Amino acid sequence: MKKYFNKITFYICSALFIMFSSCQKKLDEAYANPNALVEEPVETILPSLIGNFLGSGSAAGSSYGLGGDMLLIGRYIQFWGTYSTSSSPISLTSANQSNYDAMGGTVGTSDNLGSLWGAFYYGQGQNLNKVITWASRDGKWDYVGVAQAIRAWGWLSLGNEYGDAIVVKEAFDQSRQQFDYDPESLAYDSCRAACLNALTNLSRTDGAVSQANLAVGDQYFYNGDVNKWKKFVYGILARSYAYLSNKADYKPDSVIKYTQLAMTANADNATCKFMASGAQSGAYSYLGIFRGNVGSIRQGAYIANLLNGANSTFPTSTLDPRAPYLLQPNPNGTYKGIIPWNGGAEISATNDKPNNFWGGIYSVTTSPANENNCRYLFRNAAEFPIMTASEMQFLLAEAYLRKGNAASALGAYKNAISLNFDMLMNSYSTNIPSANLLTTAARDAYLANTQIVPASPSSLTLSMIMLQKYIALYGWGIHETWTDMRRYHYTDIDPATSKQVYADFTIPPGASLFTNNGGKPVYVARPRYNSEFLYNIPSLKLVGVLDGSGAQVANYHTTECWFSKK
C-alpha cells in the first residue's frame, strides 16, 4: 500500500511540475522583460568589453578598467603625485589617497586599486564569455578571436597587479560563492593559451566572418581589422615573455619572435578612441576635462628631469623636444615636476610649480571651461594607447641586449624612439604651441645626439633602454611601467654602468615611505574590497592578505610578485 501511495505521489508531483513549467514558459513568452533580453547581439556587447580597457560605466559600478587604478599606480612609478598648495608636505594618513605617493597600500574598506579587478571579473567577465559562446554558435569567429584576445590581455594585466591573489580555475564558475586563489604563474599560462586560441579564430575566414560586421562592435579600437587584432595578440605574448627576465628560463628568443610579429608601425597601435559627445562619461577619455579625474595630481619630478636634461643617464642639459607634448610648463615657461611624497613643497616659487594637466595654474583642481590648453592624453577625444609599436621595439631592444646582440639592440632602440616621436607628431599635436611642434628634423637631431643614441652598440645600456621606454609610455603605460620597475626592483644596478637601471629614481626615504611598509617598496595590490573581503575570507587568509584573526596584514602590498622573482 505504501509503495502504491508513493507512486501516486510521484505521478502527482510530476504532473504539477510539468504543468508549472509549462505555465512558467508561457508566462515568460507572454511577458518578456523588456529591459533584460534573453540574448543580446554580440555586436552590442563588444563595445563595453573594449571600454573596460580604460574605464567603463554601468548601473552596478563605474570606471572599471585601467583608469581608476592607474591614477594611484602612477604615483608608485612617479609619473605624478598629489599637489599641495601649502609649504608643508601632503598628509600621508591612511584616510588620504596621498599615501600612494609614499608607496602605501589600500587600507580599510576602500575599493582603491580594485578597478582592474572589477573590469576583469565583472565588466568583461560573463559578458565576454557570452560573446564567445554566441559568436561560436553563429560562426562569427572574428568576434570569438577578439573576445579571446581581450581575455588574454586581462589575464596578464590581472596577474601582474594582484599577484597570487587571483581566481583563475574557478573564475567564472557560477555554482560557487567562494573561490580558491591560484598562483600568478597560472594567469601567465592562461594568457598564452587564450592568445593561441585567439590567433586561431582571428585567422578563420569561414562562417559569418566579416570585417564590416566586426567593425560594428569594434568601431572605437581597430574598426574590425583582424590583422591588427592579431598584432595585438602577438604583443601580449611578447609582454608575457619579456616580463620574466629574472627567471632562469627567460626566453629572449620568444620576446624577439613575438615583437616582430606584433605592431611595427604606428598605424597598428592599439588605442581606445572616443566619440567625445553626449552626456555619457564613457564616451570621453578618462583623463579629459569632461570626466575630471586628474585635477588633484601634478607631473612628477622624475619624468620632468628625464625630459629637461637633468637625469644622469641623459645629461643633455637641454629640453627633450617631446617635453611640450608630454608635460605642462610652469608660468615661467620651464618644465619641472613635484616629488610625489612631498606634494611639491620642495618648489618654493609659485611660478616654478607646474601647471595642472589641463593647462591651468598649479593650484587649480577643477576642469576648465574649454580644452584650449589641454594637450596629449588630457583631452576629451584623445586616443588612449593600450599597446604601441614603440613599446614593442623597446621590448625587442631589451631582449637583444640581454641575448648579447648589441648591434640589433641599438637598431631596435633607435627605432623605438623614432616611433614615439612620430606617434606624438601624428596624433597628439593638438594645442601644442607652433614653436614647439615636432618635426622630422627635430626627431633626427635628437637621434643623432650620442648622449641619447650611442654611436657604438657596445655603449648601449639597459638604463638607456628602460628610461627611454619610461618616457615613451608616460601617461598611458602605467601598468607596464610598474611591471618593468618591479622587474628591476626599482633600484637594481645596471652591470654595464654600476648605476641604477632607473638612474636617479628614489624610493621615498625614511619617514616619507608609508609607515605600514616596514621599509620595503610596494609590489602588489590587494584584491578588490567590495567582493573579496565580503565573501572570500578563507582565500584572503591563505595568501596573506588577512591574518588568522581576519585583520588586514598592513604590509601585504610589499609582497613581491612571482613574475619579478628569480
What's the grid cell of residue 311?
637625469
Adjacent-strand bridge partners of 299: 80
14 confidence band (pLDDT: 50, 70, 90): very low
**DSSP labels, 114-172:** -HHHHIIIIIIHHHHHHHHHHHHHTT-HHHHHHHHHHHHHHHHHHHHHHTT-B--TTTT
What secondary structure, in 3-state letters, does 63-127 show? CCCHHHHHHHHHHHCCCEEECCCCCCCCCCCCCCHHHHHHCCCCCCCCCCCCHHHHHHHHHHHHH
Please compute the mean of the pLDDT values over residues 337-356 and round it to a whole number: 96
21 confidence band (pLDDT: 50, 70, 90): very low
CA R_g for the chain: 25
What is the tens place of the pLDDT at every residue in 272-293? 999 999 988 888 999 999 999 9
Q: What are phi and psi of 80, to 5 degrees?
A: -160, 175
Q: What residue segments make up the domains of the chain, in order of their start?
A: 1-29, 43-82+108-241, 281-500
**What architecture is the 281-500 domain classified under in CATH?**
Up-down Bundle (1.20)
How far apart are alpha carbons 387 and 476 in whole angstroms?
9
What is the tens place of the pLDDT at every residue in 104-136? 999 999 999 999 999 999 999 999 999 999 999
414 closest CA partner among 386, 474, 455: 455
Least confident of 28-37, 62-71, 497-506: 28-37
Classify domain 43-82+108-241 at the CATH class level: mainly alpha
DSSP class of residue 328? -
433 confidence band (pLDDT: 50, 70, 90): very high
Are the C-beta atoms of residues 562 and 163 closer than 8 Å to each other? yes
What is the tens place of the pLDDT at every residue in 525-544? 999 999 999 989 999 999 99
Average pLDDT taken over every residue of the chain = 93
Query: What is the predicted pLDDT for the residue at 38?
Result: 72
What percentage of residues in the chain have a pLDDT greater than 70? Answer: 92
DSSP class of residue 58? E
**DSSP labels, 469-526:** HHHHTTTT-HHHHHHHHHHTTTT-EETTTTEESSTT--PPPGGGS-GGGTT-----PP
How far apart are alpha carbons 535 and 529 in whole angstroms?
10
33 confidence band (pLDDT: 50, 70, 90): low
Q: 0.85 exceeded by the pTM?
A: yes
Q: Please state the separation of Cα 227 from the chain's center in Å.
A: 23
- Residue 96 pLDDT > 90: no
Query: What is the predicted pLDDT for the residue at 29?
Result: 54
Q: Is the sign of the CA dihedral 390, 392, 395, 401 positive or negative?
A: negative
Length of the chain in residues, anyone? 566
